[in-house]
Amino acid sequence: MPQLAIILPTLNERENLAPLITRLDTALGGITWEAIIVDDNSADGTADAARALALADPRIRVIERFGRRGLASAVVEGACATAAQYVAVMDADHQHDPALLPAMLADVSGGKADIVVASRFMPGADAGGLEGVGRENASRLANRLACKLTGTELTDPMSGYFLLETERLRSLAPRLSGIGFKILLDILSASAEPLRITEIPLHFAGRRSGQSKLDRTIAFEFLVGLYDRLLGRFVPTRFALFATVGAVGVGVHMAVLALLYLMAGSGFILAQALATFAAMSFNFWLNNQLTYADRRLRGTGAVLRGWLGFCATCAVGALANIALAGLLEARGVHWMLAAGAGIVIGAVWNYALSSRFVWGRY
């Protein structure tokens, strides 16, 4: 029976796995452990590489997921798949030093802490692996704000390397927002009772091979986390992002329309059609960058298919919008109210369809 499960979420980490298992084995002498690799159908064959490792070493297990993406849900599913009493979460790219695990485990199993966080920013740590001074400063700032919010005195609440009792993570799982951003912050704010936390200094290394998948800016990540905590219960975070992007798209639409209709003297219908297309394309691009950063479509083929799908979705949404607004207006509802209702229905419809058919499973 393993004492400790190490959850390794992976997305295109094929080359990093075998050396990481070797390092875990060296670091964890005397501790019984298993590694659970949770792979989201990586294109580079990470899951096959993981299964090949598992054939040679029964301590390695693999969960492969299809049609889904997201770090937070990968971590939760890994934790639900182990019977080990303790669980550690770490990057599979060698940025997190496995040599810290025994000390982290000792703090939690010895009753000193409920959760141990490997910090990039406490005295004795170094954040060398954070590429660029800008990213490091942004990260420190976000951390200070996060501390104020969660009321915890942590130097690195956005760390991706931590250890806790598996049962605690499982019991919090239904309350995690799971939007796919920083899961530690999510765990800290989901817990009703304050958690006892200790930190251990981490020498944050550069990633060994492959590229970062979480290249959204930390400031954006943080704002999303903030919104999610304060208002996510009322209007779901992803829908709020989608609607905000839509509102910016209205601005793009008006700008293009003004340019073509007023300045270039095109006919209104043509100008309106081109403006609509420009706004849809802009919205697709921005949603792909921000709203669905964790499921971003990459590569020319996928982006083109997504773009076409998004335009088709929006066309259906526009029909629903116009139909409802027309119906309400004909029944004597004030025209502004009718238009507003149409816009809301159109937005909800677009969101529902595109989250499923453009950035979802199909």
Ligand X SMILES: Nc1nc2c(ncn2[C@@H]2O[C@H](COP(=O)(O)OP(=O)(O)O)[C@@H](O)[C@H]2O)c(=O)[nH]1
Binding at 199: pick from Mg ion, ligand X, none (beta carbon under 5-8 Å per type): none
Q: What is the spatial distance between Cα 144 and Cα 117, in angstroms, rounded to a whole number?
A: 16
3-state percent breakdown (helix, strand, coil) of the chain, nearest 5: 55, 10, 35
* Using rule CB under 6 A, residue 224 touches ligand X: no
Considering only the stretches 86-94, 248-256, 267-275, 342-350, report the one whose residues sit in contact with ligand X under the rule CB under 6 A.
Answer: 86-94
Q: Find the shortest distance in angstroms from Cβ 204 to Mg ion.
A: 9
- Cβ-contact 317, 349 below 8 angstroms: yes
Q: Find the shortest distance in angstroms from Cβ 337 to ligand X.
A: 41
Q: Find the shortest distance in angstroms from Cβ 228 to Mg ion.
A: 22
In whole angstroms, how far apart are CA 12 and each of 40, 66, 72, 97, 207?
A: 9, 14, 17, 19, 12
* Using rule CB under 6 A, residue 225 touches ligand X: no
Q: Pick between residue 27 and residue 341 the one whose CB is nearest to Mg ion.
A: 27
Q: Find the shortest distance in angstroms from Cβ 314 to ligand X.
A: 26
Label each residue of 159-197 as H, E or C: CCCEEEEHHHHHHHHHHCCCCCCCHHHHHHHHCCCCCCE
**Reduced to 3 states, what is the DSSP secondary structure of residue 200?**
strand
Binding residues among 265-304 for ligand X as defined by CB under 6 A: 294
Return the residue of 42, 95, 288, 355 that touches Mg ion, per CB under 5 A.
95
* Using rule CB under 5 A, residue 221 touches Mg ion: no
Q: How many CB atoms lie within 10 A of CB 203?
A: 17
- Token pair, residue 108, equals 């939690």
Size of the site for ligand X (CB under 6 A): 21
Instruction: Show the CA angle centred on residue 8, arms to residues 155 and 143, nearest 5°.
Output: 15
- Cβ-contact 310, 349 below 8 angstroms: no
Strands 86-89 and 115-119 come out as unpaired
User: How remote is the C-alpha of 240 from its chain's centroid?
Assistant: 15
Q: Find the shortest distance in angstroms from Cβ 137 to ligand X.
A: 16
Q: Find the shortest distance in angstroms from Cβ 8 to ligand X.
A: 6
Q: What is the rounded radius of gyration, in angstroms, for the C-alpha atoms of the chain? A: 24
Return the residue of 13, 34, 77, 93 that touches Mg ion, per CB under 5 A.
93
Binding residues among 145-164 for ligand X as defined by CB under 6 A: 160
Q: Find the shortest distance in angstroms from Cβ 214 to Mg ion.
A: 7
* Using rule CB under 6 A, residue 186 touches ligand X: no
Return the residue of 5, 36, 79, 95 that touches ligand X, per CB under 6 A.
95
Contact pattern for ligand X over residues 38 through 57, marking x by CB under 6 A: xxx-----------------
Instruction: Show the CA angle centred on residue 130, arms to residues 124 and 136, nearest 5°.
Output: 80
Binding at 11: pick from Mg ion, ligand X, none (beta carbon under 5-8 Å per type): ligand X
Q: Pick between residue 38 and residue 173 the one whose CB is nearest to ligand X.
A: 38
Q: Find the shortest distance in angstroms from Cβ 56 to ligand X.
A: 21
In whole angstroms, how far apart are CA 23 and each of 73, 136, 308?
A: 25, 27, 45
Return the residue of 20, 47, 74, 146 that touches ligand X, per CB under 6 A.
74
Q: Find the shortest distance in angstroms from Cβ 97 to Mg ion.
A: 12
Binding at 228: pick from Mg ion, ligand X, none (beta carbon under 5-8 Å per type): none
Helices 183-190 + 133-150 axis angle, to 10:
10
* Using rule CB under 5 A, residue 91 touches Mg ion: yes
Interacting residues with Mg ion (CB under 5 A) = 91, 93, 95
Kindly list the residues in this chain that would bind ligand X in the complex (CB under 6 A).
9-11, 13, 38-40, 69-71, 74, 91-93, 95, 160, 207, 212-214, 294
